[in-house]
Amino acid sequence: MAYKGKRINPQKFERGQIKIIAILLPLVIFMALPIVFIANHAFKPMDELFAFPPTFFVRNATFENFTKLIKFSRTAGVPLSRYVFNSLLVTGLTVGLSLLFTTFAAFALAKLKFKGRQLMMDINQLALMFVATAVLIPRYLVICKVGLIDSIWAHILPLLAYPVALFLVKQFVEQVPDSLIEAAYIDGATDWTVYRKIIIPMIKPAIATAAILVFQQVWVNMETSNYYVNDDSMKTLTFYMNSLVNVNNTVSGQGMAAAASLILFVPNLVLFVILQNNVMNTMAHSGIK
């Protein structure tokens, strides 16, 4: 007998959805608790920050922590706006270039036949096993030898290659039918045309997921500011916020630390909300072969 599926309309509430909601709702609440805590913690006044027993929700919300953070940044030699600009520039360029190179490489490794293809894929798989600390010294030597110290490219180039993103996107490219690509070649399409008009439209969910992964890696990265950049005006917002917390590691500085944590977290949340449909499609397609 053929499987007829479940007759549940996702557009409206039905009694059959109660058991699904009963299972998922506790998980949703549990996973949302850290986000709710970060948001509440940033708006707590000083007495609530150090209350015992600690409170989860803010009672008397205030913008005092953000005000202190802005005032302190004005006393620094480099304005806060400069760090924000650096982070936006570095993140935008790195994510854009990384996705471009990742999709190029995924298309070549999955659909084009050339000598050394398997070796390149094996190298990417091998790179997945190395943590960033293991390649810290070789990476610094490369950046130093090519003369990129204290430049914007010192932030960008070390983070362009992301093996996880390449592996994910390549898996999606492999699911594109070869017959479709062969038909395009018969019609006179070039590799660039196939990449632009066939591959990219069909792997948008994977690209969106890779964008989130690369963004998270770049946005919270402090390695480039710590090791490759000596000029404070070239460092990123994440480095400044963490330095601010370390310098003000006192009772009065905990409020600024809470505000800084929320500021650094919000862009990740916003990007995920924007791309969540594509991310869900990636998870759905990953099980279809």
Tens digit of pLDDT for each residue in 242-277?
A: 777 665 555 556 777 778 788 888 887 888 777 776
Q: How far apart are CA 173 and CA 104, in angstroms?
A: 11
What pLDDT, on the 0 to 100 scale, is given for residue 7? 59
Q: Is the pLDDT of residue 170 over 80?
A: yes
What pLDDT, on the 0 to 100 scale, is given for residue 89? 92
Q: How far apart are CA 247 and CA 142, in angstroms?
A: 31
What pLDDT, on the 0 to 100 scale, is given for residue 125? 83
Q: How confident is the model at residue 288 (pLDDT cuts 50, 70, 90)?
A: very low
Greatest mean pLDDT among 100-104, 111-115, 207-211 lies in 100-104
Nearest to 161 by CA among 98, 207, 106: 98
Nearest to 151 by CA among 74, 89, 242, 213: 89
Q: How far apart are CA 262 and CA 58, in angstroms?
A: 14
Q: How far apart are CA 196 and CA 100, in angstroms?
A: 11
Residues of the chain above pLDDT 90, percent: 8
Q: How confident is the model at residue 6 (pLDDT cuts 50, 70, 90)?
A: low
Q: How far apart are CA 142 and CA 156, in angstroms?
A: 13
Q: Can you tell me the mean pLDDT for 180-198? A: 89
pTM over cut 0.85: no
